[in-house]
Copies of this chain bind each other. A is one copy, B any other.
Amino acid sequence: VSERKPIRTELGWSSADRIVVRGKSLPDEILGHMNLGEFAFFELKGRSPTPQESVVFDAIVITLVEHGLTPSALAARLTYAGAPESLQAAVSAGLGGLGTVFAGSMEGASHMLYEAVEGRHADESLEGIASATVARFFAEGRIVPGIGHPIHKPVDPRAVRLFEIAEEQSLAGDYVRLMQLISKEAEAVSGKVLPVNATGAIGAILCELGFPWRIARGFAVMARAIGLVAHIAEEIENPIALELWRRAELEATELSSTVGA
């Protein structure tokens, strides 16, 4: 037993008369004293946000909640059609696709920014870091995360607004500026329109708030969980999953059965 690593958590515990989250009494010090965003920040970081941090935190999470009929929402609805008794399984299915393609650029942007700033030389300017970063990504044939958007051009209005909010709350520091400079540098070098997109803005703001890049994707996950519950609520009222299935199967069967004839 002596070699055992202890099983522990700082997050929460309860006894017959106490229910504690992060060292605070849930009924006495949290419920009615914090709003949802403040509590989520507190749960994730172990301290309450400042009013400024709270505004910025809420804005980035809200941005990630609802993106319409995404693959994630479709997967959740299709899963619900087969297992309406398991709403949780439908949300699980929808979250499973928040990987490198859709949620990954947020993580990538945070990672890039942390690395760039940590590796900074004593008197290196942010412009210098931006140039070096873009040069490195281009040399390695990697896509610079957090910039460019297939639809929202020449700017992604969410990124503009998120940076504006960060600025208003005095939380637009070096990471935000570096993200903007990287976008400008990438546009200059490539000759393409590559504005900071929503995931780039969120990635930068996560750095300003001090969240580790390894959980950046978690912001999409917890935000989308809200959105997916709303999609299931709508699916109950006005189902589309069976129609998606019917159409797909019909088209595929027509193609296959003709070929096979």
With both chains docked as a complex, state the minimum distance between the C-beta of A23 and any C-beta of chain B, in angstroms: 6
Q: Is the CB of A160 within 8 A of B27?
A: yes
- Counting contact residues on chain A (CB < 8 A from B), the size range is 35 or more
Q: Is the CB of B225 within 8 A of A222?
A: yes
With both chains docked as a complex, state the minimum distance between the C-beta of A229 and any C-beta of chain B, in angstroms: 4
Return the CB mask of A135-165 against B: 1 if under 8 Å, else 0.
0000000000000000111000110111011
Q: Is the CB of B86 within 8 A of A11?
A: no
Known: A74-B75, A89-B97. 14 other contacts (CB 8 A): A8-B252, A10-B234, A27-B161, A32-B165, A37-B37, A39-B58, A80-B97, A83-B86, A85-B86, A89-B89, A90-B96, A93-B96, A215-B236, A240-B248
Interface residues of A in 243-259 (CB under 8 A from B): 243-245, 247-249, 251-253, 255-257
Q: Hey, which chain B residues are within 8 Å of A63, CB to CB?
A: 26, 31
- Please, which residue of chain B has its CB at the minimum distance from the CB of A37? B36
Tell me whether A241 is interfacial, beta carbon within 8 Å: yes
Q: Please classify the interface of chain A as helix (H, G, I), strand (E, B), loop, or mixed, using the class held by over half of its residues.
A: helix
Q: Is the CB of B7 within 8 A of A240?
A: yes
Q: Is the CB of A10 within 8 A of B256?
A: yes
* Centre residue among A7, A58, A215 by max chain B CB count within 10 A: A7
Q: Hey, which chain B residues are within 8 Å of A243, CB to CB?
A: 4-5, 7
Which one of A64-72, A117-125, A172-180, A186-194 is at the B interface?
Answer: A64-72
Q: Is the CB of A7 within 8 A of B72?
A: no
Q: Hey, which chain B residues are within 8 Å of A225, CB to CB?
A: 91, 95, 221-222, 225-226
A245-B70, A245-B71 are known contacts. Are A158 and B101 too (CB-CB below 8 A)? no
Tell me whether A238 is interfacial, beta carbon within 8 Å: yes
Tell me whether A199 is interfacial, beta carbon within 8 Å: no
* Centre residue among A9, A12, A100, A158 by max chain B CB count within 10 A: A9
With both chains docked as a complex, state the minimum distance between the C-beta of A190 and any C-beta of chain B, in angstroms: 21
A74-B78, A217-B87 are known contacts. Are A9 and B58 too (CB-CB below 8 A)? no
A74 to B37, CA, bound (A): 24
A13 to B26, CA, bound (A): 38
